[in-house]
Amino acid sequence: MDKMPLVRPQDVTTPRTTVAAPAATSVVTTDWRDALPVLSATSITLREMRAADAPSLFALLTTEEVARFISPPPGTVEGFERFIVWAARQRAAGAYVCFAVTLAESDTAIGIFQLRSIEPGFATAEWGFALGSPFWGTGIFDKSAKLVMEFAFETVGVHRLEARAAVKNGRGNGALRKLGAVQEGMLRKSFLRDGEYLDQMLWTVLDEDWRAKAIWGGGKMILH
C-alpha cells in the first residue's frame, strides 16, 4: 500500500480510555461494525487486530523495505497500540476496517489489510495493505487480498474499490494488476514521502468486476 489511509497522526497520539481494544478472543458476528468476522483460506486467517499484535506489527511493518512506499507507520509499539484502539473506534463508527493477517499455524500478526469509506455508506472505498517482507512471494498477499475483496463487496456492500500505488512501487502495482484491478490513470505528485512528491497510479475494482471474476475464478473464499 502507499499509505495507511486510516492512520493519521492526530488519531493515534492520544488514545481515548473509554474505548478498549478488541478482546483476545475472536467474535463471530453478522454485523462487522460490532466486531469483524474471521476470514479464512488455506494456511491463513484474517481477524480483527488486538492489542497483543502491536509488537509484531511494529517489528514487521517499520522495516525499510516495507515502509518505503507507505505513509510512515507508528514509530513505536505504543503507537501501534494506539492505532489498534483507533481502528476499533473507527470500525464501530462504520468508517474503517482493518484486518490482521496471521498464519493458520500461528496467531502472530504479520501484516494488515485496511478498508476506508470514501463516501457515506461505504459505496466507494479505498483499500491499503502492508505485509512483512519475510512473507513476500509466498502467496499470502494474494489469498488475503481476495478474502478482503470478497468481504468488501459481499459483506460491506462496496460498489467501487480504489487503491493508490506509487509509480515507483513495481511490486505493489504488479500485485494489483494480478488481482484484476483496472488502472484508471496517474495521480501526479500526489504522495509525499521523505520530502519528495511521488506520482501514484489509481487502480479500481468494481463490484461487477469482482462478481464476474468470482464466477470464472472457481468460487469464493471461506467466510466464518
Phi and psi (nearest 5°) for 196?
-120, 135
Does any domain span residue 3? no
Does any domain span residue 22? no
Domain count within the chain: 1
CB-based contact 157:122 (threshold 8 Å): yes
Per-residue model confidence (pLDDT) at position 78: 97
Range of the domain at 156: 9-15+27-218
Beta bridge partner(s), residue 196: 193
Cα–Cα distance between 188 and 43 in angstroms, integer? Answer: 39
Give the CATH number, domain containing residue 52. 3.40.630.30
Per-residue model confidence (pLDDT) at position 69: 82
Does any domain span residue 223? no
Per-residue model confidence (pLDDT) at position 205: 96
Q: What is the mean pLDDT of each run of 10 residues along the chain (224 residues)?
A: 35 35 41 95 95 97 90 93 96 96 93 94 94 94 95 96 93 91 94 87 94 60 38
Does any domain span residue 49? yes
Rounded (10°) angle between helices 54-61 and 77-92: 110
Per-residue model confidence (pLDDT) at position 215: 57
Does any domain span residue 112? yes
Q: DSSP assignment, residue 134?
A: G
Does any domain span residue 2? no
Does any domain span residue 203? yes
Cα–Cα distance between 213 and 221 in angstroms, integer? Answer: 13
137-148 per-residue burial string, b: 16 or more CB within 10 A, e: under 16: eeebbebbbbbb
CA dihedral (93, 97, 103, 109) positive or negative: negative
Does any domain span residue 224? no
